[in-house]
Structure formats: C-alpha cells, structure tokens
Amino acid sequence: MIQRPRGTRDFLPDEMEFRRNIEMKMREAARRWGYREVCTPTFETQELYTIRSGEGIINEMYTFEDKGGRALALRPEGTAAVLRMYVNEAKVLAKPLRWCYLSDCYRYERPQKGRYRQFWQFGAELIGADTAEGDAEIILLADDILRAAGVTYDLHVGHLSPMRAILRDIPEERKRVIMALLDKKNMEGLEETLSSWHLEDLECSLKDLLEATTTDEVFAITGPIPEQERIEAVVNVLKTEDIQFRQNYGIVRGLDYYTGMVFEGFAENLGAENQIIGGGAYRLAHLFGGDDVGSCGFGIGFDRVMVSLGDLPVPENTVIAVLYTPEAREYAFSLSRQFRDAGFRTEMNLLARGISAQMKHAAKTARYAVLAGEREMADGTVTLRNMQAGNQRECTVREAIDGVSNGWE
C-alpha cells in the first residue's frame, strides 16, 4: 500500500468542513478591514528566496530544476511571492495596498505537532503605509482574525529600535552571536559570552530591556531614540482599542528582515511549538527590483490554528435522504433538486436497495428522510420522517421543505 509522503496529511470530509469554516471566518475578518485576497504561484524561481535569506535556505526548501534547466522552489512562505507580485504587477497602484492570502507552503524540516512539510499560511501585507497607524492596523487586523477563528493566544508587541540602540557599537559578528543567544533565550550562555568579551554593562542593559514592559522603562534604558514617538503612538492606539497584549522588546527573530515594529502570538494546545503568528514592519520590494517601499504584515500558521482549536466539533446532521421505490425514480430526482434548490444537503439512494435497507442507511447519515413511492408520486406528496424523533407525516413538497427549515420534530 502506497503511503502519503512524510510531513503531509489527508483531510476527511468532517475535517475539511471544519477547516473551510475557519478559513471563511478569517477571510471575512480580513475583508472587513479592506484586505482583498491575492494568489501567487505554488512555485517560484529559487532566487526569490535566496536573495533575501541566502543560499543556506536551500536545504530547508523543496527545490527542483525544470526541463528548461531553471532552478525553482516550492514556496516556503507567502510574503516574498506577494512582494514579487507587487513589483511585477501593482507598483503603480494607489497605496496603501491591503492584500491577504491563504497559501499552501512547503518546507523540508522535521515534522512535529503543528509543524508539517506541507502547511498552510494565512497572511496579510500592508504595502505603502510606513506609519505608526499602519503598524497599529496590521496588529489589530491580526488580532481580529485570530479572535474570529476562535483562537485563545497571548500577543507580544515590540520594536527593534531599542535593541539596535543598545547594540549599536557592537561589531556585526558579535551582534549575531548575541542575537542567536537571545533568540534561544539562553541567558546563561549570554552571560558567559558577554563576560568573556568584558561587556558586563551590556549584559545589564540587555536584561533590563528584556524585562521592560512599558515604553517609559524602555526609554529609561536606551535614552532618547528617533523612533520613540512612533513606538509610543502604536502602543497608545493598541491600548485605546483595548486589546490584550504585552510589550516585549526582546523579540529578536528576523532582526535582519524586520525594520521596526514586530509582534508574535503564542497559542494554547501547541506544546513547545506554540507560536501561531509572527509579523512586523519590513522593506523587501527593492530586493526584487522595485521601489524601497515600507510595508508591514504577518503570517498565521493556519495548521497551528486548527491544532489550537482542539478536537473537531460534532458535525450538524442536516442531510436530507431521499428514499424511493423503483417506480418513483424520476420523481425522486425532482424531489432532490427541490430540496437542494432550497439550500439543503440532499443525498439520493443510488444502490438497488429496498425501502427498509434505504431507511437503515439513512439512519446513519441523515436527520430527515423523504420517502417517495408510487402513491406519493401520483399525489405530488412525500412522506417526511424525522430520523431522530421517529415521527413521520405525509405532506406536500413545500410543506416538507418548510418543516425541515423550521426543524420539525
């Protein structure tokens, strides 16, 4: 028996219905903010990803050479392709652009809970609004989307400028070492490393910054910095909007990519891999031949959303089963169409079963059964049966549709 590839999954109908329902809620939340959906190719030129992240990322991607000898890659994330599309197709459009997407992505990494080799990412990009208002909007949008999906999570919001101000005199090579230790939250290693470099004062400043939870505390550590007014403006908007968040100026992941505001979200039921969203302000379009436009955005791990939500809900059993005798076959097709036109999921018997066998099968799958025999066909009626309550009555088709609509018991 051929097995599915490692790191991929099969989704049966109940799970797909659940996923589509959550997708719809997330899309609707984005639509209300004016974010319109876009779609990019599943594969791109390999250079699109290496030009930003370096050749080392190739080991983490699914790459291949096509018949023309071109180096291509399945997309590992959504932002680069969306900004490439902006440069190719939309740089003359009026800004800001509000775009969102739900894309399947591919990464060659060790599968674990909430982390797969094929996964889905819900993202949004705000292109051309390099302002405090834009920073605040993208955070509020992300919060609305996750809340609409039903996710319970902790939101951390920060800015890279305070960390950069503290490290401004540190050589780049040492700065990368410090960033790696902070990213892993290896405070013991950080202490040992800074001590070996005789940078004990820097250690104190870094620890104070990691513990800071207000802008006053941050600027008491860094002193005045050019971004101070913008940071305070974003924080004030978030407070006014009354969303739950924590100021965290120790966010260092993506320091070479993000340019200012950054935020992360951590959800329940995910174990060690509990980050469900990451985002911030960035500049990327110029790498792909476009203008140096300020942007901000985020990526939500859609699969982590689903894991966080827990077990599948019991699906609503609203199927209408149309049961019939051989003489009433054409009449049964007409009945099925009328119920479908009324908006109901309707399934006809397709096998050579007697009414008793049809009824037994319908009891497993349907809430209501609509029976049609030679008499019902002659009278233009049906026998409507509630499969849970066991009640049944003969009525017109219109009465049966109304009864189902009203939850007839």
How far apart are alpha carbons 183 and 120 in whole angstroms?
24
Whether 206 is in a domain gets the answer: yes
**371 and 262 in a common domain:** no
| Full DSSP string of 339-390 | HHHTT--EEE--SS--HHHHHHHHHHH-SEEEEE-HHHHHHTEEEEEETTT-
Whether 4 is in a domain gets the answer: no
**354 and 305 in a common domain:** no
3 state SS of 80: helix
Q: Provide the 8-state DSSP code for 112.
A: B
Q: Which tokens sit at 207?
A: 């620890």
Whether 2 is in a domain gets the answer: no
Burial class (CB in 10 A: 0-12, 13-18, 19+), 30: buried
Q: Provide the 8-state DSSP code for 328.
A: G
Whether 112 is in a domain gets the answer: yes
Q: Name the amino acid, one letter, at 46.
A: Q
Q: What was the pLDDT predicted at 53?
A: 79
**196 and 108 in a common domain:** yes
**161 and 121 in a common domain:** yes
Number of C-beta neighbours around residue 360 at 10 A: 11
**287 and 243 in a common domain:** yes
Q: What is the CATH number of the domain that holds 356?
A: 3.40.50.800
Give the domain extent around 102. 13-309
Q: What is the CATH number of the domain that holds 289?
A: 3.30.930.10
| Full DSSP string of 281-325 | EE--GGGGTS----EEEEEEEHHHHHHHH-SPPPPP--PEEEEE-
**301 and 335 in a common domain:** no
Q: What was the pLDDT predicted at 255?
A: 59
Domain end (from 280, 309, 338): 309
Report which of 26, 30, 64 is spatially closest to residue 45, judged by C-alpha positions.
64
How far apart are alpha carbons 79 and 46 in whole angstroms?
14
Report which of 26, 32, 36 is spatially closest to residue 99, judged by C-alpha positions.
36
Percent of residues in the chain assigned helix, strand, coil, to nearest 5: 45, 20, 35
Number of domains in the chain: 2
**329 and 300 in a common domain:** no
**254 and 351 in a common domain:** no
**261 and 391 in a common domain:** no
Q: What was the pLDDT predicted at 230?
A: 97
**360 and 277 in a common domain:** no
Report which of 113, 108, 120 is spatially closest to residue 6, judged by C-alpha positions.
108
Domain end (from 286, 309, 332): 309
Whether 390 is in a domain gets the answer: yes
The per-residue pLDDT string of the chain (409 residues; one tens digit each, 9 = 90 and over) reads 999 999 999 999 999 999 999 999 999 999 999 999 999 999 999 999 999 878 888 999 999 999 999 999 999 999 999 999 999 999 999 999 999 999 999 999 888 777 899 999 999 999 999 999 999 999 999 999 999 999 999 999 999 999 999 999 899 889 888 888 887 888 899 899 998 998 888 988 999 999 999 999 999 999 999 999 999 999 999 999 989 999 999 987 665 689 999 999 999 888 777 999 999 999 999 999 999 999 999 999 999 999 999 988 876 667 999 999 999 999 999 999 999 999 999 999 999 999 999 999 999 989 999 999 999 999 999 999 999 899 999 999 999 999 999 988 8
Q: What was the pLDDT predicted at 90?
A: 96
Q: What was the pLDDT predicted at 243?
A: 93
Q: What was the pLDDT predicted at 186?
A: 87
Whether 96 is in a domain gets the answer: yes
Strand 320-324 to 275-282 pairing: unpaired
**327 and 295 in a common domain:** no
Number of C-beta neighbours around residue 215 at 10 A: 18
Domain end (from 283, 309, 335): 309
3 state SS of 206: helix
Under 8 Å between Cβ of 60 and 76: yes
Q: Name the amino acid, one letter, at 98.
A: R
Whether 70 is in a domain gets the answer: yes
Whether 1 is in a domain gets the answer: no
Q: What is the pTM of this model?
A: 0.90
How far apart are alpha carbons 82 and 87 in whole angstroms?
9
**198 and 166 in a common domain:** yes
